[in-house]
Structure 1
Amino acid sequence: MIPVQRLPATNRLVRLCDSRTEKIRKLGATSEAARDEWRLAEAAKSEIRALLEKMAPGVLRCMYCLDSLGTDIDHFEPLSRTPLRTFCWHNHLLACSRCNSNFKREDYPCDEETGECLLIDPSADDPADHLELLVAIGKYEGKTRKGKESIRVFGLNRKDLMEGRFDAYITSCDVLNSWHRKVLRGDLEGAARSAAALRREPFGDVLRALEKLGRLPYAAAALGDELAESVSAWLHRLPHQAATTSQPHVGSDDALAR
């Protein structure tokens, strides 16, 4: 998982969601009423999906696994638990059907004493505060209780994801070294294409883990000399890359228009 920046709701979305929420309230604020209103709310769902797709990492990736395409609008806190949050913009994330329907479903663990949710919301939390990715084997370890619960509920260590992250690690290392060689020989256009392609790849958490390792004083020991130099150069040029690749900063005017 990586952070995603939540965009502000449009005025139209606010109006649509407020109207539907009021209908749920008048119908008794039950989960049945919430499900009925959600099923009928095509205009609101279209607006929500459009904004979530602008927020999505890579090429419309699931905000939980970062592998599959995000196909579902997930209610982070299930509507069966809080019907009046069914149309709350801050309660929506983009998920693949496997993460949403096969793993997370209605699960929403909370701390027994504080009531705090024990799942990582990538639009509100930095997953790195709670998760450690062992990048060379593609496995997550939980640093906190929230991290451990998120691994369990989202199925973050299922076999296909671990294998996919390992493949992404190999690919990312190769592309970073290739990108650096292009930079060194002055092929900035080619380097920009490589950077854009790498940022569009699934498993953006792998690239973020490599960036984290590249900031460590023992980066060369962890990554090897060539890759450590490539990652160091990548980190040094991050602001330039953000301006030249096809993935603008989420939340910028360009991102809103994309």
Structure 2
Amino acid sequence: MIPLERPKISTAFENRLTTKSKSLAEESADTKKARETWKTARTIRRDLKELLAGMAAGFVRCMYCGDSLGTDIDHFKPIAQDPLSAFIWSNHFLACSHCNSNKKRDQYPCSPSGECLLVDPSKEDPYDHIRLNLPTGKYLGRTDKGNETIRVFGLSRPDLELGRAHAYVRCESMLRDWSAQIGGGREDSAKAVLTALTVQPFADVLYAMIKKSYAPGAASIFHPVVLAALREVRENGKMT
């Protein structure tokens, strides 16, 4: 999971969402009514999915696991918990069917004070709550919110951990290649490598590598060429 920038929607589309939300509020809609209204709002769901696809990291990837294709619109705060939030733009994320239907479903854990215990990647940096062990591909929670996020979205699934571990090896290799292309003056080739790095599945691996490249002991983790490449990618604003 990496930070995501939620784009501003057009006034016209915002008005369409607001109209739906106002209608639900006026009807004091319950979960059943909100779900029925959501299901029949085909054009709104189509337009939302298009917006979310552009917001996702990589090629329409799940905003939670980062691996699978994002096929579903997930309500971060489930309709079952808050029917009136069904059409709120800030409540929508693109998710794969596994993260959305098999794992999260209607879960929305909160602390005793009522604070949501799931990381919202459009409002906060997931790295503040979860850290990635690069060689193993395993996520480790740093806070209660981090632990619940890992649990609810199933981020410790064996296939995800194995995929992240392999992605780490690929990222290191590609960063060396990128550095060599830069050193050889082959800017077009270097750009192609960097683009592939930033849009591949498991963009969270590259993000974690960049974060760790500025942490104490980074020189003992990364080869000097890889470390320099990571910092240059960060300084050039390709992934912060």
TM-score normalised by the shorter chain: which range applies?
over 0.9
2:25 counterpart of 1:2: no
> Which residue in 2 is equivalent to 1:194?
193
Establish whether residue 45 from structure 1 lines up as the match of residue 45 from structure 2: yes
Match of 1:91 in 2: 91
TM score, norm. by length of structure 1: 0.89
- Count of residues in correspondence between the two structures: 240
Which amino acid in 2 is paired with 1:160?
A: D
What do residues 154-173 of structure 1 show as CA deviations (whole Å, max 9, x unaligned)? 00111000001011101100
CA distance in 2, matches of 1:68, 1:132: 20
Identity %: 41
Structure 1 match to 2:129: 130
Is residue 179–residue 225 contact of structure 2 (8 Å, CA) maintained in 1? no
Q: Which residues of structure 1 form unaligned runs of 5+?
A: 243-248, 250-258
Amino acid at match of 1:227: V
Deviation of residue 23 (structure 1)? 2.5
Aligned to 1:59: 59
2:210 maps to what in 1?
211
The amino acid of 1:175's aligned partner reads: M
Aligned to 1:245: none
Counterpart code for 1:102: N
Please identify, of 219-228 and 192-201, the stretch whose mean Cα deviation from structure 2 is larger: 219-228
Alpha-carbon separation, structure 1, partners of 2:18 and 2:230: 46
Conservation of the 8 A alpha-carbon contact between 2:73 and 2:95: yes
Question: Equivalent residue for 1:15?
Answer: 15
Per-residue CA distance 1:78-111 (angstroms, 9 max, x = gap):
0111111000111101100110000000000001
Shift of 1:61: 0.7
- The 5 A counterparts of 1:155-166 are 155-166=154-165
Q: CA contact under 8 A between 1:34 and 1:84: conserved in structure 2?
A: yes
Partner of 2:36: 36
Cα separation, 1, equivalents of 2:41 and 2:105 = 21
How far apart in 2 are the matches of 1:57 and 1:235?
16
Show structure 2 runs of 5+ residues with no match.
Answer: none
CA distance in 2, matches of 1:197, 1:56: 15
Alpha-carbon distance, 1:15 to partner: 1.9
| SS of corresponding position for 2:120 | coil
Q: Deviations over 1:43-79 (max 9, x none)?
A: 2112211211111001111000000111100000001
Partner Cα separation in structure 2 for residue 222 and residue 28 of structure 1: 56
> Structure 1 residue 27: deviation in Å?
3.0
Do the aligned residues in 2 keep the contact of 1:182 with 1:188 (CA within 8 Å)?
Answer: yes
Q: For the residues of structure 1 that align with 2:56 and 2:135, how far apart are their CA atoms?
A: 25
Question: Secondary structure, in 3 states, of the residue corresponding to 1:163?
Answer: helix
In structure 1, what is the equivalent of residue 103 of structure 2? Answer: 103
Partner Cα separation in structure 1 for residue 153 and residue 2 of structure 2: 14
Q: Is the 8 A contact 2:176 2:229 kept in 1?
A: yes
SS in 1 for 2:65: coil
Whole-Å Cα distance in 1 between the matches of residues 202 and 52 of structure 2? 18
Q: What's the offset of the Cα at 1:217?
A: 4.5
CA distance in 2, matches of 1:232, 1:95: 30
Indicate the larger mover: 20-29 or 123-132.
Answer: 20-29
User: 1:180–1:234: 8 Å Cα contact kept in structure 2?
Assistant: no
